[in-house]
A and B are shown apart, each in its own frame.
Chain A
């Protein structure tokens, strides 16, 4: 009987899909904020990280 109660119900699958889905969304969100930060700072001519990129862009434009 105890074994039957522990059996995976379809409800558990739905909950698992919800939890896994939310987990993936959160991981993607962290990656997105990280990537955006690198992209924004890395192209800012006033920033140490972005200055070489800005110079390269200027050279290419000339």
Chain B
């Protein structure tokens, strides 16, 4: 290749473009919840092995992101929010994203299995399969409950972190999964109530469009009750304790109040104050999940002092 020919190739990808395929922002939630799952699990893990386990879970999450971008390149090109992603922007070829996703899937699953145990490796493999095949390829463009299904994929990391230490699936890890799973619908649907998206133009069914905003408000309330039951139930297990429970009662009371306020409102009320209640609820939901997982860590940290847990 000569200097004169390369000048035409403005679309050559940089390292950052490949990194962007791994959806680094989503990865931060994966890393945080997986780390909590790993740290609150009973038993010991070599700190370096634990660090590697978190890295492999994050890389596995990144692999799903790359495979998602490969499959969804057509709809990403039609939506403002996603049009600058590496494939629609023309920086990375779809085949490269597929190759990177498959390679990182193999890398992360096999190394997590070798570093920890087969349960953690199998859970990571299932998570990637679930997100890519069940959610991205099958249900995302088919049902308005796509958010619920996608949320399940994002809820697995604490379960994998737990399994990396214990080699097991228990009620504690299932409830940590359920916490993120039940949190996702109110979180995203409250956002959908005040953000004008172009999902409809891209052919992705969103509840606000397919069933209307009234039904979306009803769903937010319903899932918020489920979420509160899960959050309080988690507090009664071996990884909960008085400190977690006290905070959970306050946060869930507040969250339920917010969901009821949203449920009571009409679209006219919402338009009148520029969706103030919906915006507040959405912002609070970010804080909500972080604090719940954070309080699980607090309980574990207090245990050596004889204060944590029941």
Contacts and interface: CB of A to CB of B under 8 A. Distances in A.
Interface of A: 5-6, 9-11, 13-15, 17-18, 20-22, 32, 35-36, 38-40, 43
Contacts of B55: 32
B144 to A, nearest CB: 39
Contacts of A21: 15-16, 18-19
29 contacts: A5-B3, A9-B3, A9-B6, A9-B7, A11-B9, A11-B12, A13-B14, A14-B12, A14-B13, A15-B12, A17-B14, A17-B16, A18-B13, A18-B14, A18-B18, A21-B15, A21-B16, A21-B19, A32-B52, A35-B52, A36-B48, A36-B111, A36-B114, A36-B115, A38-B48, A39-B48, A40-B46, A40-B115, A43-B46
Contacts of A14: 12-14
Interface of B: 3-4, 6-7, 9-10, 12-16, 18-19, 46, 48-49, 52, 55, 111, 114-115
Contacts of A15: 12, 14
Contacts of A11: 6-7, 9-10, 12
A32 B55 CA distance: 10
A6 B3 contact: yes
DSSP class of A's interface residues: helix, strand, loop or mixed? Answer: helix
B46 A39 contact: yes
Contacts of B49: 36, 39-40
Nearest to B8: A11
List of 6 A-B pairs having minimum Cβ-Cβ separation, nearest first: A21-B15, A14-B14, A5-B3, A39-B48, A17-B14, A17-B15
Nearest to A6: B3
Contacts of B15: 17-18, 20-22
Nearest to A35: B48
B52 to A, nearest CB: 6
A15 B10 CA distance: 11
A38 B6 CA distance: 45
A23 B14 CA distance: 13
Given A17-B16, A40-B46, A43-B46, 14 more contacts: A9-B3, A9-B6, A11-B6, A11-B10, A14-B12, A14-B14, A21-B15, A21-B19, A22-B15, A32-B52, A32-B55, A36-B49, A36-B115, A39-B48
Contacts of A43: 46
A16 B289 CA distance: 40
B72 to A, nearest CB: 24
A32 to B, nearest CB: 6
